[in-house]
Amino acid sequence: MKRNFILTLIVLVSACVFSSFSGSDAVLKKPRTGVYVFGFSASFTDSTVYFTPIQYLDGVVLEKKTKFLPGAPEMSYQLKDYLEQQRGEKNRVCAIFADETKAKAEKHFINVRKRYLNQKMNVVFLTEQEFQYQKIQPEAPAAEETTETTNP
């Protein structure tokens, strides 16, 4: 009786260990190294909104816990700078949206676009020839500078 219990326990533990290795996606798949992004720009002073097309940025990974795009503020400034310099649009608020799959990005794009199409706003869709996002390279950690302060 005791021997049967021990054998059953060994079989169950073995099954659990082997099943965790065989079904693990982390072991079988390589990590995803790209994201799909699109941008949006609006202004409080006019009724024109701009959308960029969904673009794939290779080598960019969303933060693990927050799913936040590293360098997102700098990337939104790329759209803001483009609109100011190429189209003469001042005082625009720009945002960038990022998703790990194209399907999620398209769904997000449709939801944001729908909000503005329903409001009878002037919606402008930029093409990839007009505007493309550039990857932001992560900055290397700067060496800490030591500054001495003297008390007067």
Contact 79, 41 (CB under 8 A): yes
Q: Give the residue with greater pLDDT, 46 vs 150.
A: 46
Identify the top-confidence range among 28-32, 68-72, 79-83. Answer: 79-83
Identify the top-confidence range among 13-27, 31-45, 73-87. Answer: 73-87
- Provide the whole-model pTM: 0.68
Looking at every residue in the chain, the average pLDDT score rounds to 79
Cα(79)–Cα(41) distance, rounded to whole angstroms?
8
SS (H, E, C) 31-52: CCCEEEEEEEEECCCCCEEEEC
Which helix (H) or strand (E) segment is 144 a member of? none
List the structure tokens of 30. 């390589």
Identify the top-confidence range among 105-109, 113-117, 131-135. Answer: 105-109
46: left (phi over 0), alpha (psi -120 to 50) or beta: beta
Lowest mean pLDDT among 6-10, 30-34, 36-40, 101-105: 6-10
Residue 76 confidence (pLDDT): 92
List the structure tokens of 120. 């009878």
- Number of neighbouring beta carbons within 10 Å of residue 150: 4
| Sequence-separated contacts (24+) of 111-118 with Cβ below 8 Å | 112/40, 112/51, 113/51, 116/42, 116/49
Residue ranges per structural domain of the chain: 32-125
Lowest mean pLDDT among 4-13, 37-46, 60-69, 83-92: 4-13
Would the pLDDT of 135 be above 60?
yes
